[in-house]
Structure 1
Amino acid sequence: MAHYKTTNSKREQFQRYLENSGVLDTLTKMLVALYEEPEKPTSHHLGVATQENPEIELLCLELAEMKEKYEGTVEENKKLKAKLAQYEPPQEEKHAE
């Protein structure tokens, strides 16, 4: 039984600390403010993007197109560098004298 009283005592001390420091009041005010918000989230997954949003779908398509365009540009750059290397003489390192 002594262990139960010790645990209960610590719990009461912590609860008094939370009350005295204003944590409980702040949490209560915050939860009330969230509850009174006029616009409630449509999903229980707050902040999770769903594929149902048409704007997200458009952005995903645009991202895929840009990645494809980027890959094409990288390939073209490699080919042009190889072509340029054929016409340029090998560059010798210049030593500072």
Structure 2
Amino acid sequence: MAHYRASESKREQFRRYLEKSGVLDSLTSVLVTLYEETDKPNNALDFIKQCLGASGPDPAELEALRTELSELQQKYDLLVKENKELRSRLLQHESLPEDGAAES
């Protein structure tokens, strides 16, 4: 009988730990959301993961982000190149003596 009480005590401690850390509230909230869904998802576990933020981005979304990153990287490279060219031209113009200064 002592073994049963020790086991029950551990369960109770674990339950309090889950309550204190907010796990029970989060799980309850997700399960209520799933219950209230009119169109139940085919995969309830994926739904729960998504609600808890455990699943990664959608593969299509991930590919779109990769494409956007590639485009932005190309744009960045062009802007860096343009910036270097403009700085070089600016330095050339600054190093030339001004027309009015040469006549004085």
TM-score when scaled to structure 2? 0.47
**Hey, which of these two has a bigger chunk of helix by percent?**
2
TM-score when scaled to structure 1? 0.49
